[in-house]
A and B are shown apart, each in its own frame.
Chain A
Amino acid sequence: MTYRADVLIIGAGASGGVAARHLAEHGFDVVCLEQGDWPDRSAFPGARPDWELAIRKDWAMSPNVRSRPEDYPVVHDDSDIEPLMYNAVGGSMIIYAGTWPRMLPSDFRVRTMDGVADDWPIAYRELVPYYNAIDQQIGVSGLAGDPAYPPHDDYPLPPLPLGAAGRRVAEGHNRLGWHWWPEPNAILSAPYDGRRPCVQRGVCTSGCAEGAKASTDLTHWPKATAAGARLITGARVSRITLGPTGLATGAVWLDRSGVEHHQEADVVILAANAIGTARLLLLSADDRHCPDGLANSSGFVGRRLMMHPFSVVTGWWDDQVEGWQGHFGASITSYQFYETDPDREFVRGAKWALSPVGGPLNHILPMRAGNEVWGRDHHELMGRTFGRGASWAIFGEDLPEEPNRVDLDPVRTDSHGIPAPRVSYRISDHSRRLMAFQEARAEESLRASGCRETAVASMIPYSGWHLMGTARMGNDSASSVVNSRQQAHDVPNLYIADASVFVTSSGVNPTCTITALALRTADLLVQHRSEQKVPA
């Protein structure tokens, strides 16, 4: 007899982990299929001498460069930004920076406030209880009272150190009269929930061997499995299955040997990121119910991909600040140019985060701002800059555009022969104006903070960490894929928990909001369980 779960979750990353824990703790029988494996922290490269070599190959953020068996290729020949992700329990949280900003009230009302894109069908205030709960589950380090935000609960842990660079830029902003605040980070500043605190090694984006940086393999999956959730790793889903009434019945998946299985469930939750989820919906096309892809009667599946144009502005002081050290993560943030100003040639804005600049290889073979210099001048450059810098990492709000999309590549496949996703994405002229303004202001910031020299890496291609918008949320089923509960309009027992549902991108790192939304979706599923339609 085939086993049927209450809930099948596809993907064990940020949203999948949060949803699984909440549902399992509320008595649901949960099964999760994850194509990656449990991360092996002893293999994380940050404390090893080959760290800067590893992050350019085996620990690259690009699945195409990493090319591990659990990765699938992402075709991006026609994209200004390369999509980045990590496939494992914990998902891309394994390689994210760990900065943990909430979205702002105006982010949910860009049509009303600024006349662009669309409002979300939910408001900031509806997410606040979930933001507060997630902060506690994750163990966020920060300081309440930031005047860039409405007042909210304090964070469970004190802020991480400012560091020498953070302190200097904070003082610089005070001289300019500009906003700054210690960045909230999903990185422990003190022991919490059985985990050790950050040791400021500066290697967060290649895996935190200390376990100080939150990822759901640490914060949620142990509790989810203790509550009865079952997590199957090495399980690559090829399609979601539908029953005769058009309800989802489960998913077909392939194990590491390529053997096909079917997992049945009453409810299916997609949590595979905005590329993986769109890919699966398109792969699940069914001639009878959904010839253009599952849950795609609107035609919006795969559309409106947003990836946040990203620039780095680095400044160098005359003296040492140990610029390779610190959490990465960010020490301080600025929302000075976040909200719309009608005097500018663009609407919306960007969030800045001050980060370390890496070790010697990152200086001489720069992946961000800087020049590659050889010969005698190499040593002059290193002497002038190494250990003396810090970078403003700038994410600009990326307004949704329908041509920016994910579809299926007609040729390339993953290692199981399943069609690869293909990304088409162009940075808009609006984004270019927005980013040029932010870059110029960031240089002013660093000069005012005492930097002698600055450099701009403008809209760097290798920056697609933030994948959003390919199955947008909305009240109108003709122009959206899921409703405000993240339930598919077309398939009432199919939910999407990841950032595919984002209506707009905001200008902040999305993981905090992804997890708050996933917790809300799971909570509403618990509350409305008696009304839930399930297959016979």
Chain B
Amino acid sequence: MTPPTSPAPTADIDIHRLTALADVMLPAAHGMPAVSEVKAVESYLPQVLGWRKDLHQPLVRAVDALDPSLFSIDRLSALHEEDEDAYVALTTAVAACYYLSPVVRELIGYPGQAAKTYDPFAYTEWVAEGLLDPVVDRGPIWREVPG
């Protein structure tokens, strides 16, 4: 199947309100920026909802249900109890937007699932070095069976 790649319209989602919620979930701390500092929601939410259309309506519910001025991690936990689909949509969308940011990826040292080349015969080095010798020296551990 062909992946949906076109951005989704987000006119029914209050981006400022969602960003305020996201800043409580992922604030600036420990050398990492807040969601708003890297403009993660406005930059990536249409793409995230394009990829995951199933998140759209529950995310609308989450944003409508949560007051940014009263929002806290405890309130987020309460949402988990009240409306699990809304909770999953909110946490998934916020996290996906944040970790799509090139700034954030650079800070955590994540280049994506990159292709790498390697020497398939490099194993001969650790075999020659004796890494497996203790295993081999202990002898067989499988059980002989009748029949």
Instruction: Identify the A interface with B (CB < 8 A).
Output: 40, 43, 45-54, 56-58, 68, 104-106, 108-109, 112-113, 119, 123-124, 141, 143, 145, 147-150, 157-162, 167, 170-171, 173-174, 177, 179-182, 189-190, 197, 199-203, 210, 320, 324-325, 335-336, 338-339, 359-361, 364-365, 372, 374-376, 378-380, 382-383, 386-387
Assembled-state Cα–Cα distance A320/B144 (Å) = 42
Nearest CB of chain B from residue A73's CB, rounded to whole Å: 17
Assembled-state Cα–Cα distance A320/B109 (Å) = 9
Provide the residues of chain B in CB contact with A199, threshold 8 Å: 115-117
Given contacts A109-B145, A383-B30, contact A378 B109 (CB under 8 A): no
**Please, which residue of chain B has its CB at the minimum distance from the CB of A383?**
B30
Q: Which of B12-20, B21-29, B60-68 contacts A (4 or more CB under 8 A)?
A: B21-29
Kindly state the interface size class of chain B when it binds its partner. Answer: 35 or more
**Please, which residue of chain B has its CB at the minimum distance from the CB of A65?**
B54
Instruction: Identify the B interface with A (CB < 8 A).
Output: 1-3, 24-27, 29-32, 47-48, 51-52, 54, 73, 76, 91-92, 95-96, 99-100, 108-110, 112-118, 120-123, 126-127, 131-132, 134-136, 138-147
CB-based contact B120/A40 at 8 Å: no
Could you pull out 27 A-B pairs where Cβ atoms are within 8 angstroms?
A40-B2, A46-B113, A48-B3, A50-B51, A58-B3, A104-B143, A106-B142, A119-B147, A141-B120, A148-B141, A161-B118, A161-B123, A162-B123, A167-B126, A173-B135, A200-B115, A201-B114, A324-B110, A324-B113, A325-B116, A339-B143, A360-B99, A361-B95, A364-B99, A375-B73, A383-B31, A387-B108
**Told that A56-B52, A386-B110 touch, could you supply 6 new A-B pairs with CB distance under 8 A?**
A40-B2, A43-B3, A53-B92, A104-B142, A143-B123, A380-B30
Provide the residues of chain B in CB contact with A52, threshold 8 Å: 96
CB-based contact A162/B146 at 8 Å: no
Provide the residues of chain A in CB contact with B141, threshold 8 Å: 147-148, 179, 335-336, 338-339
CB-based contact B3/A376 at 8 Å: no
CB-based contact B51/A325 at 8 Å: no
**Please, which residue of chain B has its CB at the minimum distance from the CB of A382?**
B108
CB-based contact A375/B132 at 8 Å: no
Nearest CB of chain A from residue B22's CB, rounded to whole Å: 10
Given contacts A53-B96, A182-B123, contact A112 B114 (CB under 8 A): no
Assembled-state Cα–Cα distance A113/B142 (Å) = 12
Provide the residues of chain A in CB contact with B144, threshold 8 Å: 105
CB-based contact A105/B113 at 8 Å: no
Provide the residues of chain B in CB contact with A324, threshold 8 Å: 110, 113
CB-based contact B143/A365 at 8 Å: no
